[in-house]
Structure 1
Amino acid sequence: MKTVCKKKEARMRTRIWIAAVATVTVAIIAGSWIATIGGGDAPGRTIVTAGPYVGGDLHVLTVQGERMYVGGHDGAAVSGDGGRTWTDLPSLKGADPMGATATDEATLIAGHPGLFRSSDGTTFAKVTGEGDLGDVHALGGAGDVAYAGTPERGLLVSKDGGTTWTTRNAEAGRMFMGVILVDPADPLKLIAPDMSTGLVTSKDGGITWTAMGGPGSAMAAAWDPIDTQQLVVVGMTDSAQSSDGGATWTPLMMPKGASAATFSADGKTLYAAALSGMNASVYASTDLGRTWGRRSGPEASEN
Structure 2
Amino acid sequence: MKKSAAGLATELSRRGFVIGAAVAGAGLIVLSGLRASAAPAPIRALVFDGDALIVAGSNLGRSEDGGQSWTALLGPAAILALATHPERPGRLVAGLASGGVALSEDGGRTWQARSSGLPEGAIDAVTVAAGKPDMVYAAARGDGLWKSEDAGQSWSLAMDRPWLADAERDLLALASVDLATGMGGIWIYAGTPAGLTRVPDCFCRWQDVQPGNAMDALVSGDAPPSEAPLPAGEPIVALASANTAPETLYAALPSGVWTSRDGGVVWSRAAEGSASAVVIHPADEKHVVAVLDDILKHSRDGGTSWAALAAA
Per the alignment, residue 255 of structure 2 pairs with 237
Going by fraction, where is helix more abundant, 1 or 2?
1
Find the aligned partners of 1:239 and 1:200 in 2 and give their Cα distance. Answer: 17
- Listed as ranges, the gaps of 5+ residues in structure 1 are 1-31, 299-303
Seen in structure 2, the aligned counterparts of structure 1 residues 34 and 125 have a Cα distance that, compared at 3 Å, is closer
Shift of 1:70: 1.3
Per the alignment, residue 167 of structure 1 pairs with 157
Find the aligned partners of 1:283 and 1:98 in 2 and give their Cα distance. Answer: 18
Alignment deviations for residues 124-167 of structure 1 (CA, whole Å, 9 cap, x no partner): 43516625554211100131111100014311011111111100
Q: Does 1:214 align with 2:230?
A: yes
Per the alignment, residue 214 of structure 2 pairs with none
TM score, norm. by length of structure 1: 0.72
Q: Does 1:183 align with 2:178?
A: yes
Q: Does 1:97 align with 2:72?
A: no
Shift of 1:275: 5.8
Shift of 1:82: 2.4
Seen in structure 2, the aligned counterparts of structure 1 residues 227 and 79 have a Cα distance that, compared at 3 Å, is same
Per the alignment, residue 44 of structure 2 pairs with 59
Alignment deviations for residues 49-89 of structure 1 (CA, whole Å, 9 cap, x no partner): xx3123x4x321222333322123x3221222222222112
Find the aligned partners of 2:63 and 2:6 in 1 and give their Cα distance. Answer: 15
Count of residue pairs the alignment pairs up: 251
Q: 1:223 touches 1:230 (CA, 8 Å); kept in 2?
A: yes
Alignment deviations for residues 211-248 of structure 1 (CA, whole Å, 9 cap, x no partner): 33413310111122101111111112343211111121
- 1:125 maps to which of 88, 91, 111: 111
* 1:253 maps to amino acid: A
* 2:59 maps to amino acid: G
Find the aligned partners of 1:171 and 1:81 in 2 and give their Cα distance. Answer: 39
Find the aligned partners of 2:269 and 2:5 in 1 and give their Cα distance. Answer: 38
Seen in structure 2, the aligned counterparts of structure 1 residues 257 and 249 have a Cα distance that, compared at 3 Å, is closer
Q: Does 1:83 align with 2:67?
A: yes
- 2:56 maps to which of 71, 88, 100: 71
Q: Which moved more, 1:133-142 or 1:202-211?
A: 202-211
Q: Which moved more, 1:206-215 or 1:237-246?
A: 206-215
Q: 1:37 touches 1:47 (CA, 8 Å); kept in 2?
A: no
* 2:277 maps to amino acid: A
SS at structure 1 position matched to 2:84:
strand
Shift of 1:46: 2.3
Seen in structure 2, the aligned counterparts of structure 1 residues 225 and 44 have a Cα distance that, compared at 3 Å, is closer
Q: Does 1:203 align with 2:197?
A: no
- Listed as ranges, the gaps of 5+ residues in structure 2 are 9-31, 163-167, 210-228
Task: Provide the identity percentage.
Answer: 24
TM score, norm. by length of structure 2: 0.70
